[in-house]
Structure 1
């Protein structure tokens, strides 16, 4: 009897564990298939289908957003189930909330509804030289200094940290690493105060520079005040604002997003293409031409979703192609699409497949999974290579997003960003 009792006890535990597992997975699944945010063009009706496994009630929290289903009668609350379609209509621009409850009782989430004007931008796909000036002198790391007597010391160890931005030395603003080198040497080894920006906060630290074997006083810190590279411009809007890369520019040593003060775009010439291979991403190699004649625009922001700024008239004169309508998040679907690039020296649209769209991704620059299917592009680059980040993705005649990353183990596949995530900046 005791053995049978234990058997039923364990059977009960397995049953309730299964119930909890199924319930948890169902909740997770519904949370993923229902977008956190959607966009609707002003004065237009947009149709949706969430594919919910359970009956749910959707309610509008604002009179500006009207809901409708098969009855086509506008309402502030409707009930849907399965893949049943429903619509939303809003007549005035702004951001509103729509709530979703399971069985009309259990709140699943609120959906932000952005009502926007029809937006257009010119997809670019052209490589560009990027120069970014950091906001302060960035600390890469610390190192040991050999003095004139042969002894070694590391004065900045434990005081300055990788990712710090030096803003001032003994109260004197530091704009370049040359400014810092000069100020440290002028200290003649006296105790000094360095003002740094660390994780967004202002911190003062004390350090005592030491004399190196060359007689110059030093901190024992590796620093950088700028970064350069080649990327791709995604779009230019009707006001001359551009977006590029689809991801931020990070420091090659620290991996942290470079906090920039200013930057510029310059003409670049692609000299060669190293194809991607399993375990080794390919890359573009080229020359960036600096100078007034090669200047193409200003960078105003370096973010996780790309770099942004304005282009000049010289860049605008080189633009080809017609403006395309900006795709809303819900417009982008798995299926056929195109990647626009002039990597061959001629602006072309190459066939790709959007394999997955995740509008709720916590990493906005990885909201799509794409695969290059065009034989010409695969023959040219092997798929996606470094330097192609920012190449615009076009689907159903609309600008849908941009390429951001390549999969290390498969150069034909990578991540992309939804264009609306870029336009938020």
Structure 2
């Protein structure tokens, strides 16, 4: 009898241990989410069949819809057979967020915190002797030139002005550079040299032997804005320097832009929008945040009309479905138009993450005029079932009809909307690129001067900003 009781007891214990060991399988197989966000009054239920049962915090079984009447967080327990705990489901009832979807083309003007030193070079002095003032001072390519004699730097022309003004009285100049998150103070001796202008006239000037990169400027797309608070989001990517490092933005602005023409995209050769903007006189807003989901800031002026004039709800990530959707973007001038796309893959995300969905362009006119997703479309809003669900981010270089999108939910949080938090003004640690990624393989970004050709080293173009990896990716 004792042996029988012992066997039964061991069998029960083993069964319990087996059940506990298979908890992750049950949770994964049934697809039980760990967290759900809903709007007040929204109907929400989990379609779980016996032996799975749900209990609320008061110990009452939930047989229908969750209670979503009041703002706040509730924790529900999912049990197996009514007694074996499997997992918890957190239900957050949050305010309904409405924004106006964008699609407008915008120019982005940045004043970075310091200037990127792209290369070092020799300087011939007045006697014809070749010197390397920056190299001899310990300056390296990739350093961020922060200041000269305590004067902060934001534009390349400021360096020449300061050096030529100060070097007439001081033999050496104290400069500050940032290298790998460390600020170094170095001493450099400018070299006096003879320089000729475009008219052939010679003059004496002082040089440091450095080649600087101009702070980024380019054309992108507005994703959304909140007419009540004036907060906006655009681009969908971190703005980086030529070495793929996120720029620390001292100040920046968005301005009105107009699209002049379209360069058609084909397999292996992405297309692009050819546009222009007028500069500081048409400022629409200021940039205060550069994150992995784009740039965010505060509007200052009136936004040109888009495809939708009234705010629409922002969808939660889990509400995005496979099927038809629309994107809003500009192909000519400043007129925002709607184009049909298909959401063909949705990535399950309960925390902010990039590349949340894959879309495919199905609109015949868009395919005919652009070939699919092209440079300059980054940030174009994706709308499904009357809700803003995301924004275009990447495009596949070998198939420009397809590309990635990020969830709008994460973007509005970055803008400081939909949460009881202060407006963020953080800089991103993401290594994503600028305006539009064109993706074949996921590699580290770099700027290249040629469009998408194979290149051996990083180069820089002030006229157009491209992004790529071994010639396989590029961006406007």
1:244 aligns with 2:234: yes
Residues 174 and 414 of structure 1, relative CA distance in 2, 3 Å threshold: same
Q: Check whether the contact 2:259–2:330 (CA below 8 A) recurs between aligned residues.
A: no
Q: Check whether the contact 1:264–1:295 (CA below 8 A) recurs between aligned residues.
A: yes
Q: Check whether the contact 2:270–2:374 (CA below 8 A) recurs between aligned residues.
A: yes
1:37 Cα deviation (Å)? 5.1
1:125 corresponding residue in structure 2: 103
1:174-323 to 2 correspondences below 5 Å: 174-185=153-164, 186-187=166-167, 190-199=171-180, 201-211=181-191, 213-214=193-194, 216-224=205-213, 226-239=215-228, 240-251=230-241, 253-292=242-281, 294-315=282-303, 320-323=308-311
2:404 corresponding residue in structure 1: 415
Q: Check whether the contact 1:130–1:263 (CA below 8 A) recurs between aligned residues.
A: yes
2:38 corresponding residue in structure 1: 40
What is the RMSD computed on CA atoms of the aligned residues?
3.8
Task: Measure, in 2, the Cα distance between the counterparts of 1:275 and 1:32.
Answer: 45
Moved more, 169-178 or 346-355: 169-178
The alignment covers a number of residue pairs equal to 377
Q: Check whether the contact 1:389–1:405 (CA below 8 A) recurs between aligned residues.
A: yes
1:352 Cα deviation (Å)? 0.8
Residues 99 and 288 of structure 1, relative CA distance in 2, 3 Å threshold: farther
Q: Which runs of 5+ in 1 are unaligned?
A: 1-22, 73-86
1:190 Cα deviation (Å)? 4.5
1:113 Cα deviation (Å)? 4.8
1:147 aligns with 2:124: yes
Q: Check whether the contact 2:381–2:391 (CA below 8 A) recurs between aligned residues.
A: yes
Q: Check whether the contact 2:352–2:410 (CA below 8 A) recurs between aligned residues.
A: no
1:12-51 to 2 correspondences below 5 Å: 30=28, 38-48=36-46
Deviation readout 1:346-391 (Å, 9 max, x if unpaired):
4332111111112439883311111101111101111000101111
Q: Check whether the contact 2:318–2:349 (CA below 8 A) recurs between aligned residues.
A: no
Moved more, 32-41 or 376-385: 32-41
Which residue of the other structure, out of 328, 332, 339, is the alignment partner of 2:320?
332
Q: Which runs of 5+ in 2 are unaligned?
A: 1-20, 195-203, 415-476
Q: Check whether the contact 1:143–1:154 (CA below 8 A) recurs between aligned residues.
A: no
Residues 184 and 339 of structure 1, relative CA distance in 2, 3 Å threshold: same
Determine helix, strand or coil for the equivalent of 1:315: coil
Task: Measure, in 1, the Cα distance between the counterparts of 2:315 and 2:405.
Answer: 14
Determine helix, strand or coil for the equivalent of 1:238: coil
Q: Check whether the contact 2:315–2:409 (CA below 8 A) recurs between aligned residues.
A: yes
Determine helix, strand or coil for the equivalent of 2:211: strand
Q: Check whether the contact 1:68–1:88 (CA below 8 A) recurs between aligned residues.
A: no
Give me the TM-score of the superposition, normalised by structure 2.
0.68
Determine helix, strand or coil for the equivalent of 1:378: helix
Determine helix, strand or coil for the equivalent of 1:380: helix
Deviation readout 1:326-361 (Å, 9 max, x if unpaired):
111111022211112232454332111111112439
Give me the TM-score of the superposition, normalised by structure 1.
0.75
Moved more, 320-329 or 185-194: 185-194
Q: Which has the higher strand share?
A: 1
